[in-house]
Structure 1
Amino acid sequence: MAPATRGASLKRRVRSVGGTFIRRMGLLPGGVPDRNGDDARLATQRLDAEVLVFFADTEDGLYQLRQWYAPLAALDARHRIAVVTADSRTAALIRAETGFEVVTVARYATLDGLLARSDVRLVLYVNHNPENFSMLRFASVVHVSLLHGDSDKVVSVSNQAKAYDFSFVAGRAAVDRMARYLPLFDAERRCVVVGRPQLGDALALVADRAEPVPGRRRTVLYAPTWEGAQPSAAYGSVDTIGEALVAALLAEPDLRVVYRPHPLTGVRLASYGEADAAIRRRIDAARAADPGAGHTVSDSGDLMVDMVSADLLVCDVSAVAMDWLVTGRPLVVTEPASTEVVTASTPLLDATARIGTGTVGDVVAVVRSELDDDPRASRRRELAEYYLGDLRPGAATQAFLTACEEAIAAHRAASAD
C-alpha cells in the first residue's frame, strides 16, 4: 500500500474510532442522531411486529411522536407495533414512556434483513425527515404518512407526500389543500380522512370546562411556532413581535398571559432563543410584581390542558390553530414577517383575526374585540369538522384503526396480483 493510501486509511480509522467514542459517550450535539444501534443483535433477529413506526429524529423532535402515543397504543392492541429509531437516547425515552418495542438501527443494511425475516405489513411516519427514505425504499410494506398535525404551513403540501402510499389526514381541508397545491398528486385516492385521534380526552376536557366566572381575569394563550427549517416556512412570531405582543397583554390588569413556546424554539436561529428568553423575563417580572395574576410560562405537559384553560389563543400559522377549533373560542393568528414565507389563502385564515409587525400595537384592541364580541364564532364552528374530521369522542381513533387495517389489506391485495 502506498504511503498516501496508508495515511488516508489511517485517518478514516481514527475518525471512525473517534466518532464511535463520541456516540458512545453521548457527546453529540442535540439534533444529531447518535447511530448507536442495535444492529449486531438485529442481524439475526425477527421483529414480532406487524407495524413499524419509523422515527429518525432525536429527542428534540420527540414531541411529534408523543402526540401519537395513545392512538398507537390502541393500534398495538390489535397489531403489534415496534418503533425504529436512529438514536439510542431517543429510543430509551420512548421505552420509558410507552410499552412499545423500540430498536435503534444505525446501518441501512440492517433494515433489509429485519424486514425479510419479519411479518411487517405497515410502516407509519410522523414527519418528513429525509432519513425516511431509508425505509421508503422497501416495496414489501405499505407506507403511510401521519405527520404530527394539520396546518396551513407549506410543509403540509410537501412534494414528499408522493413518496408514501397513503397520507392519513385530519379532515377534508387537508385533502382539498393537497389537491390544490400539490401538482400530479391524486389527493382523492391517496388521502384518507381519519380525524385527529391525538386529541383523545381533550374533547371531554373541553366539554367539561366550567363557565367563566364573572370578574375573573381572562386567559390569553400565546402559543407560537418555531423558526422553521427553511425561509419559506418561517411562520414564527417570537423574534419579530413576540416580546411586544406579550408586553402589551401583560399591561392589561384583567388579562392573564400563558406563554407556550414551541419545543424547537431557538434550535436553528439564535435570535429566536434570545427573543424567547426576553419573553420569559417579561413574564417572570410580571409574576413577581403581581403573583395573583397567574401569568406563566408553560413549556411541558399536554398543550390541550393549556388550551382548555384559555379564553383566547394567539398563535402563528400552525397545527395549533387547527386544534384550537375544538374549543369554540376566539382565535388570533399572526402574519409572517418575512416575504419569503409561503402563505396560502385558506378558509380558516380568511375567517380569523390577524396581527403582524405593522399591527402588533393594536393587539390589545383586537384581543378585546374577539373576547367581547367574537364576531367569527359561527364560521369557526363550521370549519371545525372541515379541518378536524369527526369530533365525536373516540370516532377519530376508530377511523385511524380502520384506515390502518384497510391499508394493510389493500397492500396485500395489490401484492398478490
Structure 2
Amino acid sequence: MRGLKRFVRNGLIGLLALALLFPFFLLALITLPLLLLLAGVAVLTPAVRKKISKGIPKWNSKKFNGTAKKLANKHILPKLYPATTRVMSHYDFIVYFDGPLGATYQVKMWDPFFSRLGGSYVIATRELPNHIDLVRSGYNSMFVKTLSVVDQLSRSGAKTVFYTNNSVKNSQMVRHRHLTHVQLLHGDSDKPSSFNPVTTMFDIVGVAGQLGIDRYLNNGVPILPEKFRIISRPQCGELGVATEPTKVIKTVFYATTWRDHNNGDDAGSIENAYHAVQQLVENGYRVIFRPHPYSMKSSVDKATIERICEFFDNSEADVGFYCGIAGKKNGLMTIAECINESDAMLSDVTSVLSDWLYSNKPYFIIDPLNDHAALIAQNPVVRAAYYVDREMSQLAKPLGEISKGDHLFDERVRLRKYVLGVDLDESPVDLFVSTMKDVMQNYDKDAVAAERIKKEYGNRSIEASI
C-alpha cells in the first residue's frame, strides 16, 4: 500500500514538471528554425559569403565534365564495348582502321563498296571511341586492342586487308606478309597526304586516276609501277553530270580543308570563310558551306564556323546551309548531296575538289599563297579552275562572269579522265569493284616479286649480280 502511494506521488510530480517545461520546449521548436533561417541569410550576404568562399574551392564544371568523361572512358565504356580477345569467325577480307577521334568518316565512305566485293568482312578498329561510333552507326566493327588479336585476324582466312589512311598502327598488320595489303586512302587531292612515302609499304596502292600515279612520282616517292591500281572514286557514282557549259549560278558549294596548326600547314581558306560567305549572300547566291571535320578541333576555326552558322540562322531568307551540327537551318548532307544541289564550287586545296570534277560543273579555287603559277604547278586540278585570290576581295566578279560563257568546260572534261580514271560513259563504281575483285582473286605476291626480279636481273642469278 505504501509502495502504491509512492508511485502515484512520483507520477504526479513528473506530470507537473512536464507541464511546467512544455512551454519552453514549444518555444525551442519555433525559435530553432528561425535561428537557422537567420544564419542562412547572413551567409548569403556579400560580405559573409566572400569570407566563407575563400576557404571553399570554386566549382569548375568543365574540369568536372572532363574528369567524368575520363572515368567513363576508362571504366564504363570498356565494359559496354569489350575488346575482342579471341577471333572465332572466318572472314574473306578485313578492313583495318586506326585513327583519331572523329576520323570514322574515312572508313564509312568506303563501306558501301566493300559490300559489293562479295564475301564476309569485318572492320578491325584499333581505338575504342571509333569502334563505339561505328557500332552505333550500324557498321560491323570489332574492337582490336592488342597485337595478339591482330595476329589472330591475320589467320582468320582472309587474304586481303584494306586500309583507308596511313595511320602508325597499320604497320602492326602489314607485317603479316602472307596477306595482300591494299591502301585506298580517303580522298584524292594534291595535299601531302596523297603522296605520303609511308604508302610504299603496301602491296597495292589504289589511286583515282593517272594523276594519282604521277603525283607520287613527281614528289619523289618511289612506288613500283606494278603496285598501282586505278580505281576512280566510286563515291562519285551518285553524282549528276553536266553535259554542257553552265550558264547561271544560283547555289555555291563552299568546301574548305583543315589547317594543321601544329605543322604550319595553311593551305585552307577557313580564316576568311565568314567574309566569303557574306560576300556570296550579299550578291544573291545561296551557299552550302561544308568545312573539313577536323576544323572543329581548332578553337579559332570552330569559332569561325559557329559564326557562319549563326549568320545562316539569323537570316530571314534561305541564304545558306551548314553541313554539320546544331542550328535550325543546319544539318547533315552527304558530299554527293552538296554537289548535286550546287551549280558551282568554291574551294581551297581539298580532296572534295576531285569529286566535284566528276560533275563537270565549274569550280573556283582560292589561292592560299596568291601565286597563280605556283598553284597550278603544285596542283594540276587547278588547270580547269577559275582563280580567286586568298583574300577573296572580289569574289562575286568571277562567279558573275560565268553568264558570259563557261570557257573552261572542255578543259574540265579532259581533266576529268586524268584525275578520276573514267570517261563520261564509264561507271566509277564498276571500275572499283572489278579492279578490287581482280586483286582479291588473282594477285600473287610471290609471282609479282619473281617478275620484278626477272626484269631487274634478266637470266642472271641474284647471287652473281651482287
The match for 2:127 among 87, 93, 100 is 87
Does the CA-based 8 Å contact 1:225-1:237 persist in structure 2? Answer: yes
Which stretch has the larger CA shift, 321-330 or 365-374?
A: 365-374
Deviation, 1:185, is 2.2
**CA–CA separation in structure 1 for the residues paired with 2:170 and 2:80:** 15
The corresponding residue for 2:300 is 271
The match for 1:374 among 403, 406, 420 is 406
Does the CA-based 8 Å contact 2:209-2:421 persist in structure 1? Answer: yes
The corresponding residue for 1:354 is 387
Deviation, 1:21, is 6.0
Name the aligned partner's letter for residue 335 of structure 1. Answer: D
Name the aligned partner's letter for residue 115 of structure 1. Answer: S
Distance change (3 Å), C-alpha of 1:51 and 1:376: same
**CA–CA separation in structure 1 for the residues paired with 2:90 and 2:281:** 54
- Number of positions where the alignment pairs a residue of Structure 1 with one of Structure 2: 370
Name the aligned partner's letter for residue 50 of structure 1. Answer: D
Does the CA-based 8 Å contact 1:311-1:371 persist in structure 2? Answer: no
**Does 2:189 correspond to 1:146?**
no
The match for 1:61 among 99, 103, 128 is 103
The corresponding residue for 2:83 is 38
Distance change (3 Å), C-alpha of 1:231 and 1:351: farther
Matches within 5 A, 1:204-219: 205-206=240-241, 218-219=250-251
Question: How big is each residue's C-alpha offset from its partner over 1:114-136, in whole Å with a ceiling of 9 and x where there is no partner?
Answer: 323x1111111111122212212
Distance change (3 Å), C-alpha of 1:74 and 1:363: same
Q: Using CA pairs below 8 Å that are at least 6 residues apart, which structure has the higher relative contact order?
A: 1
**Does 2:365 correspond to 1:325?**
no
The corresponding residue for 1:12 is none
Deviation, 1:142, is 0.8
Does the CA-based 8 Å contact 2:285-2:319 persist in structure 1? Answer: no
**CA–CA separation in structure 2 for the residues paired with 1:410 and 1:238:** 43
The corresponding residue for 2:75 is 24
Deviation, 1:318, is 1.4
Deviation, 1:333, is 1.2
**CA–CA separation in structure 2 for the residues paired with 1:171 and 1:230:** 31
The match for 2:421 among 363, 386, 389 is 389
The corresponding residue for 2:59 is none
Name the aligned partner's letter for residue 368 of structure 1. Answer: G
Provide TM-score, normalisation by structure 1: 0.79
Does the CA-based 8 Å contact 2:125-2:143 persist in structure 1? Answer: yes
Q: Secondary structure at the match of 2:170?
A: helix
Question: How big is each residue's C-alpha offset from its partner over 1:267-309, in whole Å with a ceiling of 9 and x where there is no partner?
Answer: 1x32111221222222223x23xx2x44221222311111111
Name the aligned partner's letter for residue 281 of structure 1. Answer: E
Distance change (3 Å), C-alpha of 1:141 and 1:232: farther
What percentage of aligned pairs have identical amino acids?
21
Q: Secondary structure at the match of 2:435?
A: helix
Structure 2 residue ranges without an equivalent (≥5):
1-68, 325-331, 451-466
Name the aligned partner's letter for residue 137 of structure 1. Answer: R
Question: How big is each residue's C-alpha offset from its partner over 1:355-395, in whole Å with a ceiling of 9 and x where there is no partner?
Answer: 2334x111111221245422211111111111111256773
Structure 1 residue ranges without an equivalent (≥5):
1-17, 28-33
**CA–CA separation in structure 2 for the residues paired with 1:280 and 1:21:** 31
Question: How big is each residue's C-alpha offset from its partner over 1:78-108, in whole Å with a ceiling of 9 and x where there is no partner?
Answer: 232111002344334434545x532111112
Q: Secondary structure at the match of 1:357?
A: coil
The corresponding residue for 2:196 is 158
The match for 1:304 among 312, 317, 336 is 336
**CA–CA separation in structure 2 for the residues paired with 1:328 and 1:153:** 22
